[in-house]
Amino acid sequence: MADYVIPEPEPKEIDEKVSIELRHMAENAVLRGHPSGDEKCDNCRYYLEPYNDLSYCWHPKLRILVGANWWCQWWEEIPAADA
Ligand code: SF4
């Protein structure tokens, strides 16, 4: 019992599956971890909580957590009434 060594954590099959799914989603969205000019997630209408560095993106093709300075091809200006 004293010789038991706790195994190092390693990714499981589910992690590879989720990683591939997210990679495909990011490629479809042309998702980038940086702004495109002045366009970025925290000034996009789909960024749910613009006061947070990370927020839920409610674009129907994404629905994932994204960073305030990220960007994707589905960026849309916040409608004037909501700004
Ligand atoms: S639609 Fe694209 S740019 Fe807009 S919040 Fe979502 S990931 Fe960011």
For residue 17, the surrounding DSSP H or E stretch is helix 13-29
CB 47 within 8 A of CB 68: yes
Confidence check: pLDDT of 2 > 90: no
- Return the pLDDT at 44: 98
Tell me the CA–centroid distance for residue 38 and ligand 1, in Å: 13
Report helix, strand or coil for 64: strand
Assess whether the C-beta atom of 59 lies below 6 angstroms from ligand 1. yes
pLDDT band at 38 (very low <50, low <70, confident <90, very high): very high
For residue 9, give the amino acid letter: P
Alpha helices in the chain (DSSP H): 13-29
pLDDT band at 81 (very low <50, low <70, confident <90, very high): confident
| Model confidence, pTM | 0.87
Query: Domain residues of the chain, as ranges?
Result: 32-77
Per-residue pLDDT tens over the stretch 6-29: 999 999 999 999 999 999 999 999
Assess whether the C-beta atom of 41 lies below 6 angstroms from ligand 1. yes
Would you give the DSSP letter of residue 79? Answer: P
